[in-house]
Structure 1
């Protein structure tokens, strides 16, 4: 469960001025031709040689959530394999990486990230969710480029840390808009006991609901091992609640939704924050029928050329990940794609400073064509994500059906001040 919780969470920003960008891009001069033989630079950055750019990766090979995160590394392998074998590398250099197991532990992550930077001499870091919060401050102090999921509060406002998704400050109306589109007006909100990450997310969610005119009737703080789902179902029915939202994970939904059906209750808006995964459907489709799932990837049913490229790359470079249509694999793929894009923009003789300045200046990053819509990397690390892909499990529990014609559902910003006002915070 930790992985799903970490994904929902939301520092002085690094200003990327035009002069800084110009200095970074010209730091090594115009040496090199960009041919397959690699580029020679007078002064190489850490991890950069004539033939190679070496990155670091932290992920949980062991510990809680390790099975799920194998797909993250698979996505990394797929994107870098594509870059090296199909695209000729970056200015003739192959991208490689050294990795360490952070065991989903922040203290371990802090140690192994230092090892990768100081002992392995990597140019920058890719980080899977889990223990990544342990090294954020140190990596920012060292101005090390980092890509991954902005799933820890420490990612926010860090100019060196790149993600296509952050929770940000304030909120937006997307969640409330979704509930109203589905016909919901009275909500039960699920929170995870003892999780500050989910507390932050649920505050944003609550503001979105309230701004959209959705009443929050009940809030449930649950712990999976001891939660009485039957009692929750009884209360939802007794209070005429038509919406279930919050940190609703598949493990929660497969208990609550069948219990509600046994009581003759079919919610108008049963909304999950994760579960758009063929494996989840295969294992629990019957229990999850009619559930609506909010996610940050383009629906697979669109079958775009970019999605086909991703699936082909997964089959070639990470065949052990099946099915490959999982958002965790996409997270890894996009994390690697951010580095590919940043290295292209940084020029033939990349430096960490040039990479950060150039990538932070990108205003239409497309995430390999796998995310709902392009994002502005120059601002997204300060703003809450406001656009989502929405799919529904069909009434038979056998397939996902994109809603809103497979187009992203986007909300309007809610300022931090307005959010506090809605939540009654002085």
Structure 2
């Protein structure tokens, strides 16, 4: 079965049989970039090759599943969605090249972005191109961009991960990020948020330049050990989290608590075995699989499995949710959507949670930041007997403005 046929099959079997949407008279709409009377053209940016590729694997397939589900119901106001995938390699120059192709040659309406680079965002802003995704600094400043996890504000951060480490008994934490702009900025903010967080933790070590690809995990583990840390938070690609956890084990370092971003895939966890036991994992913003009553997550997982795809990769769930956000914005933009009507309409939304896939609702109206409120809550898993087990509930922190040290939400 081809991937396209599998996705089409999954879209029609993951839920009740869809009712085709009534035909829309779209011929009367004024010309709009990426639109015809019968189609909407969207892009999906992610690294398919390069050092970040394995971390973002499955994201585009998840996005295509969400598109297939919507197309199976007749599309949006009678228009079927066409999704074009682009390999930006998480590289600035490559991202700019494919952005120019997407806009100037392919004439996309908007795009979903799951990548570790943000070089093309000024280009998107200049043309008011709608962008949905997660964890990119531009999503805190550019009105045309929307993070499904809420804006990643340059100077505001949730203390949720610090609260979770405190619950594990950590008192002296090492903060480790790879050298992508968002990860590094986020970890610096975590460092600044420690004193006003109320957790009582101190900082043993701060690293914000861990390489994104091959790196010396043993050297990093020794730095953590020699700093006297009894806990660690690692914001980097999952391969990096695993390699440092393995190196810590080899060095005989026993920590009270370790959090690894993206550490949720049962197959990856089983393969890495012992060194991950007891670690705390977190998704890239969605709730984890296995949370009781989470119908939106069940629909996503069932659809991915029906298509023969892995629903548990680090990026796939958030890519599905970000695509759902793009579809939501298109529906709000009306029968004759334009980029401007999309942006204006989605900016009015105050409660969005991707059909229950997010641990809290997101607002895109001005609040803590001009682009909305950053998320305060995350839902963690703990590796028990080689299996990721969701916490009983999400962990919510405070929103701290790291320029003033004040709690703002």
Per the shorter chain, which TM-score range? 0.7 to 0.9
In structure 2, the partner of 1:324 is: 311
Aligned residues of 2:114 and 2:315 also touching (Cα < 8 A)? no
In structure 1, the partner of 2:343 is: 356
Task: Measure how far apart 1:258 and its partner are.
Answer: 5.1
Distance, in Å, in 1 between the alignment partners of 2:397 and 2:374 is: 10
Question: Does 65-74 or 156-165 show the bigger shift?
Answer: 65-74
Secondary structure of 2:143's counterpart equals coil
Distance, in Å, in 1 between the alignment partners of 2:299 and 2:243 is: 37
Distance, in Å, in 2 between the alignment partners of 1:116 and 1:66 is: 20
Richer in helix (by share) = 1
Deviations 1:346-385 (A, max 9, x none): 1111111111111111111112322212111224745443
Matched, 1:217 2:204: yes
In structure 2, the partner of 1:313 is: 303
Task: Measure how far apart 1:251 and its partner are.
Answer: 3.9
Distance, in Å, in 2 between the alignment partners of 1:238 and 1:159 is: 44
Change (3 A) 1:254 1:146: closer
Task: Measure how far apart 1:337 and its partner are.
Answer: 0.7
Change (3 A) 1:267 1:67: closer
Matched, 1:388 2:378: yes
Distance, in Å, in 1 between the alignment partners of 2:298 and 2:81 is: 22
Matched, 1:173 2:159: yes
Question: Does 378-387 or 221-230 show the bigger shift?
Answer: 221-230
Task: Measure how far apart 1:160 and its partner are.
Answer: 0.4
Matched, 1:294 2:282: yes
Change (3 A) 1:239 1:350: closer
Matched, 1:156 2:101: no
Deviations 1:163-214 (A, max 9, x none): 112321222322322222111111223244x554433122111123332220
Secondary structure of 2:379's counterpart equals strand
Which residue among 408, 415, 420 is the counterpart of 2:394? 408
Change (3 A) 1:329 1:38: farther
Distance, in Å, in 2 between the alignment partners of 1:255 and 1:108 is: 28
Distance, in Å, in 1 between the alignment partners of 2:220 and 2:351 is: 47
Task: Measure how far apart 1:388 and its partner are.
Answer: 0.7
Secondary structure of 1:95's counterpart equals strand
Unaligned runs of 5+ in 1: 1-33, 422-426
Question: Does 378-387 or 117-126 show the bigger shift?
Answer: 378-387
Cα-Cα RMSD: 2.8
Task: Measure how far apart 1:284 and its partner are.
Answer: 0.9
Matched, 1:199 2:213: no
Change (3 A) 1:59 1:215: closer
Task: Measure how far apart 1:122 and its partner are.
Answer: 1.9
Task: Measure how far apart 1:219 and its partner are.
Answer: 3.4
**Normalised TM-score (structure 1):** 0.79
Aligned residues of 1:174 and 1:208 also touching (Cα < 8 A)? no
In structure 2, the partner of 1:136 is: 121
Change (3 A) 1:99 1:175: closer
Aligned residues of 1:136 and 1:155 also touching (Cα < 8 A)? no
Distance, in Å, in 2 between the alignment partners of 1:280 and 1:188 is: 24
Matched, 1:43 2:30: yes
Matched, 1:271 2:255: no
Distance, in Å, in 2 between the alignment partners of 1:257 and 1:368 is: 34
Distance, in Å, in 2 between the alignment partners of 1:256 and 1:63 is: 20
Question: Does 104-113 or 223-232 show the bigger shift?
Answer: 223-232
Distance, in Å, in 2 between the alignment partners of 1:240 and 1:63 is: 34
Matched, 1:56 2:43: yes
Task: Measure how far apart 1:230 and its partner are.
Answer: 7.0
Secondary structure of 1:40's counterpart equals helix
Q: In terms of Rg, which structure is larger?
A: 1
Unaligned runs of 5+ in 2: 1-20
Distance, in Å, in 2 between the alignment partners of 1:73 and 1:409 is: 29
Deviations 1:291-336 (A, max 9, x none): 01133121211253212211232244x53x3x22223111221221
Distance, in Å, in 2 between the alignment partners of 1:262 and 1:417 is: 39
Aligned residues of 1:171 and 1:416 also touching (Cα < 8 A)? yes
Distance, in Å, in 2 between the alignment partners of 1:102 and 1:237 is: 36
Distance, in Å, in 2 between the alignment partners of 1:387 and 1:313 is: 26
Distance, in Å, in 2 between the alignment partners of 1:196 and 1:171 is: 15
Distance, in Å, in 2 between the alignment partners of 1:190 and 1:128 is: 21
